[in-house]
Structures are given as structure tokens and as C-alpha cells.
Amino acid sequence: MADEVHVAQTGVGKKQERIPDPCIVVIFGASGDLTKRKLLPALFHLEQQGLLPEKFSVVGVARRDISATFAADMQDGIEKFGGVDASDPKLKGFMERVEYFATNFDDDAGYAKLKDFLAGIDQKNGTKGNRLFYLAVAPEYFADITQRLSKQGMTNPEAPSWAHVIIEKPFGTDLDSARKLNDEINAVLKEEQIFRIDHYLGKETVQNILVFRFANALFEPIWNRNYIDHVEITAAESIGIEGRGPFYEQAGALRDVLQNHVMEVLSFVAMEPPDSFDASSVRTEKLKVWRAIEPIPVEDTVRGQYGPGKVGDEQAIGYRQEDRVNPESTTETYAAMKLQIENWRWAGVPIYIRAGKRLAKRVTEVTVIFKQPPLHLFKSNDPNVTVEPNVLKLRIQPDEGIMLTFGAKVPGPTTNVKPVVMDFSYADSFGKSSANGYERLLLDAMLGDGTLFAHRDGVEATWALMTPILEAWAKNPPTDFPNYPAGSWGPEAADALLRKDGRKWHKL
Ligand code: BG6
């Protein structure tokens, strides 16, 4: 049993037995929320599992001088967001290896001093010149920081030590900006040094899509146009924009979630089996999926924005009333579209995707709706009883699990068929996990394994699909916003999108 759990925790079909080389994780933008809420808790979880090298340090870098309080603040984050007990025997030793360095991101002299500072840690802690730089900063700094690091010789691909750079999202805001950013970063780093993060790929349940498909003989033979009627992918959030008005005004649901998280999930659902689970094979298969998607007609897209409403018991304000949001904003907080993958496996199978804020509940799910059997032997005389197709749900969050519905005979003297559920729950089988997705990704980046990171071509392929939609939307601003109340399932037009194909969104 312990072994099984180990395999599941390390995901994507391979056991993670390697421990990274001695190294320093250098986090730019360390005063931001991500470091405290996600990154430090994730690093400490790795330490708890014995997956960090013995010689290891973390250095937070930001503009403000917060050296005096940084470590205590990070410990607070590890306890609060990582669910770690203050008395954990490994915590004190770990915190002793957390340091802070203040500099402006545009000051070359600061980088030179940082280089010396890190070299001092190498001397003290034996970290051997290896660096994982994590750029948890605003996107306008991605290229600049990378280039300044390179200028100081801190990311030299030819050096005997290694330097890997993790770049947070958003990676560009359209095809041109993503290309430009790729050019700027690739000018100083080799592609193998670049780790474009999408935290959805760190989620166990997203990795499990591949395990489900390719570690079982049962599903793959029917995973195609002969048996599948359509697929729905939903990333619904009940939260609003959580104080991120200026960011979200520029982003919107399509750039924030559909172009990256949802497209990544889609590639796992739709790709062909890779030759092996290495970065190059997996990336190749993902890329083939995105490139096979037909240009999306704007008539097959829907955008929405929430007005005031009730989410659960909470009264929610409308998007336009949120802090630092234009009261006449046309930014979409909901986006849905229909995609067609024109390849042998998927031709003719529509894929409907949607993402939105302030929806009825938080649920991310892939729903695969199978075709009806060729003949209905058990038609009911009761016109209210319809025969439901088999439905497979890959529940990414919350209540992580997999459910398969099928028809069963209702006990009794007549033959009535009712859908019932076969249900696998992660929590029941493996216990609750405190992992936040970043553990796996940080570990892989230290190991230099890019399998679960976005590749240059992939990022450009998804932007190539989405940019024409963004342009068409911008040319034709919405006149009906807000068009869904907070706490609902989104705009009516999203229902109409499926209705015109004689379908409706599966109930979540
Ligand atoms: C982020 C988006 O990338 O993903 C947020 O910027 C969104 O707007 C978040 O809320 C969703 O992530 P998760 O892990 O909560 O589903």
C-alpha cells in the first residue's frame, strides 16, 4: 500500500527517486503572497518527505528591506498555509537556511552583489553554485531579470553548475507578446533551462488524467470519436477577483485561465500516448493536439461578466463594483467556447470549455459524455424517463476523484433503467493530501525535468488559437455586461452555445 501511495504522489507514471543536487532556490518577488502561501510551504513539504538535498538554501529577493522579518514571516506561512505544526522537528533546521536579499530588479550592481551573496552561501552551505531562480514577479520583469542574471554570468548554460529559471504566468498576453518574451528569454537561456510554470500541471488530479488513460487498458480503446459524443471542461470558481482589480482588468477569464490551465488540461485529455514520459515526448504530443484545433469561429465563443448576486450565503458585489475596476469595464469574468480537434481520434467530437469567476460553486472537472448504445432495448413507457448516456467525470477539484455513471435496472417487476455511479475518491483511497501542486513542480525544476512545464512552442500554439478571439472581442465590445448574476452558472449565451448543438452543460 505504501508503495502505491508513493507512485500516486509522484504522479505521471514515474517514480521520483532522485534527490536534486545541492542548490539554492532564489525567489524574485519574495515579498509577494505566492512565496508565503505556496512556495515556502511546498519547499518545506519536500523537506518533510526527505526529497530536498541535504545542502540546500532558499534566498528571497525583493526591493523592500525586510531581512529582519522575512524568515519569521515565511515560517508563519509554512504553518498557516502548509498546515505544518510549529513543533515539527525539521522546521527549525529548514528555517536556518532561509535568507533574504534586498535589491532593485533594474540595478546591475544589485545583481553583482547578489552573485557574491549566493557565492557566500555556497561556501557556507556547500550548495555548489547550482541555482533555481523563481521569477514570482510582475510579467514586465521576466525578460529583464533573466537578462541581468545572464549579464552577471549567473545563468551560464555552459558552466559546470546548473541554473534553471522558473517563470510564473502570465506568459504573454497574446501571440505577439508571448513570441517576444520567448525571444528575449531564449536569447540568453537554453530552452532546457526555462521552466514556464502552470500550476495546474502540478495538481495530482491533472497528472492522474495521464495515469488513468495510459496505465489502464480499459479506457483507451474507447477514448475516441467512435464512442465519445462530446467533452466538457469546466473551471468554475465561486470567488471573485480577490482584490486583484488592476491585474484582472488587463487579463480577463480567457487570458487568466482558459489559455493556460484549461488548454493544458485539454491536452492531457486529448493527446496520443507519448513514446515515454520524458519532456520532449510529452510536449510533442501536447503540441500536436493544440495544433490540430481548428481556428475557433467567434460565433462559437461566449463571454460574460458577473453582476451583483448571491454566492452560497454570501452577498457578492458585481465585477464593476470591485475595488480598482472601471465601473464600465468590459473585461470578461467568464468565457466559454466550442473547439474541434481535427485529427483521426477526435474529428467531429466537440469539446466545450468554460471558465468563470463568481459562479455557483468551485469545481474544476472534465466530463466525458459517451455515445448512446446503438439500440435502446429498455425504453420506458414513461415519457419522463430518458435513457442517459454513460458519463465519466474526472474531478480535478475539490472532492478529487473519478466517477462513471451507467444505467442500472431499478428493482421491481418492470424494467426501468436509472443512472447510478461508480465513484473513486482520492481522499478515501489515499487520505487527504496537503500538497498544493507546487511541490512537484519545484522538485522537477530542481531536477531539470521539464515534462510538466510549458514549452515555447506550446505557449505560442495556445496563444495562436486564442489571440484571434481576443481581437474579435476587442473590436466588438460587449453591450450586455453584466450578463450573469454572481452565484449563477454564467450567461444564458453559454447555454445557447450547447443548445444549438442539441446539448446542454452537464450538471456539476
Ligand atoms: C490562477 C489565476 O492562475 O489560477 C486565478 O490567476 C485563479 O485567477 C487560479 O483563481 C485558480 O487556481 P486554483 O488552483 O485555485 O484552481
Ligand 1 atom showing the smallest separation from residue 244 Cα: 8
Query: How many whole angstroms from 364 Cα to the centroid of ligand 1?
Result: 11
Query: What's the mean pLDDT in 265-271?
Result: 98
Mode of pairing for the β-strands spanning 163-167 and 131-135: parallel
CATH of domain 4-168: 3.40.50.720
Query: How many whole angstroms from 198 Cα to the centroid of ligand 1?
Result: 10
> For 97-111, 135-149, 290-304, 375-389, which range has the lowest pLDDT when averaged over its residues?
375-389
Q: Specify the domain boundaries for CATH 3.30.360.10 within the chain.
A: 201-499
Residues comprising the chain, all counted: 508
Tell the residue nearest (CA) to atom 10 of ligand 1. 237
Say whether pLDDT at 118 is over 80. yes
Q: Which of the residues are catalytic?
A: 261
User: Which pLDDT score is estimated for 16?
Assistant: 52
Q: What confidence category does residue 5 fall into, taking pLDDT thresholds of 50, 70 and 90?
A: very low
User: Taking a C-beta distance cutoff of 8 angstroms, is the pair 138, 170 a contact?
Assistant: no
Query: What's the mean pLDDT in 134-160?
Result: 95
Q: What confidence category does residue 304 fall into, taking pLDDT thresholds of 50, 70 and 90?
A: very high
Q: Specify the domain boundaries for CATH 3.40.50.720 within the chain.
A: 4-168
Give the integer Cα–Cα distance in Å for 359 and 311. 7
In this structure, the number of other CB atoms found within 10 A of the CB of residue 456 comes to 19
Query: How many whole angstroms from 235 Cα to the centroid of ligand 1?
Result: 9
Which class in CATH covers the domain with range 201-499?
A: alpha beta
Ligand 1 atom showing the smallest separation from residue 199 Cα: 14
Say whether pLDDT at 380 is over 50. yes
pLDDT tens for 59-69 read: 999 999 999 99
**Does 433 or 197 have the greater pLDDT score?**
197
Tell the residue nearest (CA) to atom 9 of ligand 1. 257
For residues 188-205, one letter each, b for 16 or more C-beta atoms within 10 angstroms of the residue's C-beta and e for the rest, the string is: bbeeebbbbbbbbbbbbb
Tell the residue nearest (CA) to atom 14 of ligand 1. 200
Query: How many whole angstroms from 261 Cα to the centroid of ligand 1?
Result: 8
Report the residue among 34, 247, 256, 263 best suited for mutation to probe ligand 1: largest number of ligand atoms under 8 A from its CB: 256
Phi-psi domain of 65 (left: phi exceeds 0; alpha: psi -120 through 50; beta: other) = beta
Ligand 1 atom showing the smallest separation from residue 247 Cα: 6
Would you say the CB of residue 256 lies under 6 angstroms from ligand 1? yes
Ligand 1 atom showing the smallest separation from residue 397 Cα: 16
Query: How many whole angstroms from 326 Cα to the centroid of ligand 1?
Result: 22
Query: What's the mean pLDDT in 268-291?
Result: 96
Tell the residue nearest (CA) to atom 4 of ligand 1. 257
Would you say the CB of residue 237 lies under 6 angstroms from ligand 1? yes
Would you say the CB of residue 204 lies under 6 angstroms from ligand 1? no
The string of DSSP codes covering 225-269 is: TTTEEEEEEEEE-SS--TT-HHHHHHHHHIIIIIIIIIHHHHHHH
User: Which pLDDT score is estimated for 387?
Assistant: 78
Q: Which three cell numbers stand for residue 438?
A: 507546487
pTM of the model: 0.93
User: Which pLDDT score is estimated for 51?
Assistant: 95
Say whether pLDDT at 1 is over 50. no
Say whether pLDDT at 183 is over 50. yes
Query: What's the mean pLDDT in 23-31?
Result: 97
Tell the residue nearest (CA) to atom 6 of ligand 1. 256
User: Which pLDDT score is estimated for 433?
Assistant: 73
Tell the residue nearest (CA) to atom 8 of ligand 1. 256
Query: How many whole angstroms from 357 Cα to the centroid of ligand 1?
Result: 10
